[in-house]
Amino acid sequence: MEQRLQDEAKALLEQGKVDYIIGFEPGSLKFTTSPLITKDEGDIDRLVINPFIVNNLSVYLTEVKGRVGIVAKGCDSRSIVSLIQDNKVVREDVVIIGVPCPGLIDLSKVELLLGKDRDELDDITRDGDRVVIAVGGEKKEFPTTQVLFDNCLSCELPTPKEYDVLLDESSPLVTDKAAGREKIEMLEKMSPEERWKFWKGEFSRCIRCYACRNVCPACFCERCFVEESEPQWVSPIPQWQDNLMFQVVRNIHVAGRCTDCGGCERVCPMNIPLRSLTKKMYELIDDMFHYQAGMDKDEPPLLTAYEYEEVEDFIK
């Protein structure tokens, strides 16, 4: 796939079909990648595809001007479609280079399984539905379902439906939906008082760095409500009540746009389990409105469509 990606990206730039390519290059740390945004054909050899291409690159589409060729996994392609539905991106300005995604490896799960820090690992490779980890001269194998991110275990569209170029036919992803929602289930089993206590504890740790907002393609307001001073909706001081308020409003804003890419939880430096909120909201929207974000670019966005038969029993 990597060679095909480089050939396609080079051809797109050479033929003047795009002004920029947005993809992934190796990161500065082991087992990481960084976004690569370039108009230079000489950079194309740096493009990679591996189990660590975690960023949802569609977040850059509202910033980069011109025609863009963009590498997109299934969830990223849904975010692009969602941006098209919201008129934030013009379909004709984007060449979607689709990656049939086999799921991404969660290094924290690997560290926990092996009792080793990621810096101590020599290599991590995929072999079908197994992950092979080389450490201290030995090779250890695990089923992929033990080391993939929770959102990948719940993935509904690993192979992009909306694309211009598809780098392979289909994804070998093996999902485990029950494992993918273990944390959510744990919260569902709590009483409201216990849940309140849980989130109070979690949001007491939030440092309001806004990484969760900045990484999210569905958070595209030019001026976020947290930066308003008249009226001031939340205090800029990271107290737990305001931190919770920030996340509650953010979740409502991304409702019907969140594609469960897992980006917000992944970047949180305080390891706050944000996906337990976003994925729960995703499920509620699916149950109530039979709507999944970014599945069809010709469908109106969730909050602009109303059907006469829609129940209103949530209004008390």
Binding residues for ligand SF4, rule: CB under 6 A, are 56, 73-75, 101, 103-104, 151-152, 155, 158, 173, 206-212, 215-218, 254, 258-264, 267-270, 272, 274, 278
d(CA 308, CA 182): 35
Residues 158 and 74: beta-carbon distance below 8 Å: yes
Between β-strands 165-166 and 94-98, what pairing exists: parallel, antiparallel or unpaired? parallel
User: Which residues contact residue 314 at a Cβ distance below 8 angstroms, ignoring those fewer than 6 apart?
Assistant: 288
Shortest separation between residue 40's beta carbon and ligand SF4, angstroms: 27
Between β-strands 20-26 and 94-98, what pairing exists: parallel, antiparallel or unpaired? unpaired
Q: Nearest Cα to 247, choosing from 206, 287, 284, 286?
A: 206
Nearer to ligand SF4, 133 or 257 (CB): 257
d(CA 120, CA 63): 37
Shortest separation between residue 279's beta carbon and ligand SF4, angstroms: 8
User: Which residues contact residue 122 at a Cβ distance below 8 angstroms, ignoring those fewer than 6 apart?
Assistant: 134, 135, 136
Shortest separation between residue 312's beta carbon and ligand SF4, angstroms: 26
Nearer to ligand SF4, 211 or 249 (CB): 211
DSSP-assigned states of every residue in 166-194: ESSS-------HHHHTHHHHHHHTS-HHH
Nearer to ligand SF4, 25 or 156 (CB): 156
d(CA 122, CA 116): 11
Nearer to ligand SF4, 8 or 106 (CB): 106
Token duo for residue 269: 């430096």
